[in-house]
Structure 1
């Protein structure tokens, strides 16, 4: 722990409180979640690339969303698992902390941009079905995905750069299992500059989250209005089923990030931060493959056919 006003060059991640036995139990649980997340999202990417029935914009976006889920959990979870196995606190250099925080925020920003694009895609599919293939053509989809990735990574350069221009002299112990922005701000001794930085980060978080949430809300307002005009109940059910997975993903994703980042004051209780961070980096990536497969007949059929082909290959 720092006792003078020289800035920290490395940080100690406090991780999870509790005994060594509890840490081993948490390691087994999170390792299981991580493996399932990797396998589930990788399978979605593979079937989207291979199966001709899934060659549409909706599944093209889903493949990229799955890639982002793999990235966001891989940025956080391996470090967290290693910390659970180590006795005491885990050491992380300043440069490693910069890289982890930047990748985590950049991937998260890209994911929200993509979720907004997926909402607009569902709007076109439900409200303008005859023009869907013209509007959401291959060039449009490639452009949307490229813009989402570039925007996500460029947008987070300045916030992360500013974060590590602060002087961390109060302590170098981060009360979380990764380099959490809120906890890092708590360690800074640049009081006025820290307050200003917090306010700018708050405005940027509002811009990212609400900038993608507003198109989502508007799109679903039109979608619900269109679905309610469909005369048959089976038609309404079929139309809504194409959006149900995306709605579920939006509710979980936006809910977690809103609690974590959209507050004027980023410094908050460590326990609260830890729980919400687990939702973002572990639980949500784990649930998404199930959300997008269990309610989607085409994906289930593609999975079933893929399993049959694999079994035939092994038999031969």
Structure 2
């Protein structure tokens, strides 16, 4: 989950990158006593995400700045909606503006795209899940944005669940062991609480994998017909995940095959930043 510590870590690094020795422009051109009031305005419709991150950018820059959210993360909004109001020292607001917008636009873009995918499968039992195809350093933020859009998270990292992919299986069975035996031997070394998922790319791989008593089986780049057949073969003995070739145009049909999960890398690696703007007014005397 997105914690205050993880937010501060990302935001502090972004602020240090953007103003490593301070904001030269604001220091030189904005009077020290000037205050400002700014509104975070939606330029297009979408789903809100990252408002806590938005506030952190200003708070870490100058704790005197206040940010009051006007909507909650996960809320839908229309063009022209005011998402948050920012008040305080103008220099700090101007210094934090770009970082605050970059992160919030990114997260709201992911939430908005995720909501579109979720809508496409609403008539099925399938859940939409993200992948590890996230921006390095921003995974916690991007995963939260997926949740704000109504999606679900896959494993967070390599450390918290097992996913045996085709390359793992190639190495694992290189010595001649069967897939079933190789999986059972490796799984015996795991804590009993560890979730194990195995990827297959052919129908004939399903039974040998299921024989090892795995928790989830991923059907990778299967045709729609093979997905249906795969679901029938599994017959409730494991969670069935579909992956590969997923788009807004195909996700509905994929979900209709009866799979439990559809994982979509595009949620995080292809989401467009949402168009949000910060409309600001500055005065020299300390009033807006």
TM-score under structure 2 normalisation?
0.27
Q: Would you tell me which structure has more helix in proportion to its own residues?
A: 1
| Bigger RCO of structures 1 and 2 (CA < 8 A, at least 6 apart) | 1
Larger radius of gyration: 2
TM-score under structure 1 normalisation?
0.25
